[in-house]
Amino acid sequence: MKKDGFIYIGEYYHKHGKELSLTEKKLGKTRDLSDPNLAVSSEELTIGYVIKQAYSVQDVDMTFDLITAFIDADRLTGDWFEDHNNNLKARIEKFIVTMGGMKIDSDVLPL
């Protein structure tokens, strides 16, 4: 059964504004962007995690499976992917929009 949901791309950031040379991105899926489990945070860590982009899709499971198969060569572990050329978000967006998905405005993304 098809279920609407969201595909999101997340990445690490430094909580004190320092430059990070990390190129990993996390690709995820959810039915609810306000789910508190999407945030990976701790008061004591200086490295945080933020969702940088999300897309509304009609069949979240199929779309996620297709995208992860398409970018599998960049997989590090689990749903984390290497983004050496800093073009992973653009490649995923092109795929999702071609499949009929819609980009979500950044002002509604969880912090």
Cα–Cα distance measured from residue 98 to residue 76, given in angstroms and rounded to the nearest whole number? 26
- pLDDT (tens digit, 9 = 90+) per residue, 41-72? 555 677 888 888 999 999 999 999 999 999 99
**Predicted structure pTM score:** 0.79
3-class DSSP state of 1: coil
The mean pLDDT value of the chain amounts to 85
Predicted confidence at residue 13, as pLDDT, reads 84
Q: pLDDT digit string (tens) for 94-111?
A: 999 999 999 988 766 665
Chain-centroid distance of CA 80 in Å reads 9
Q: Determine the pLDDT at residue 15.
A: 82
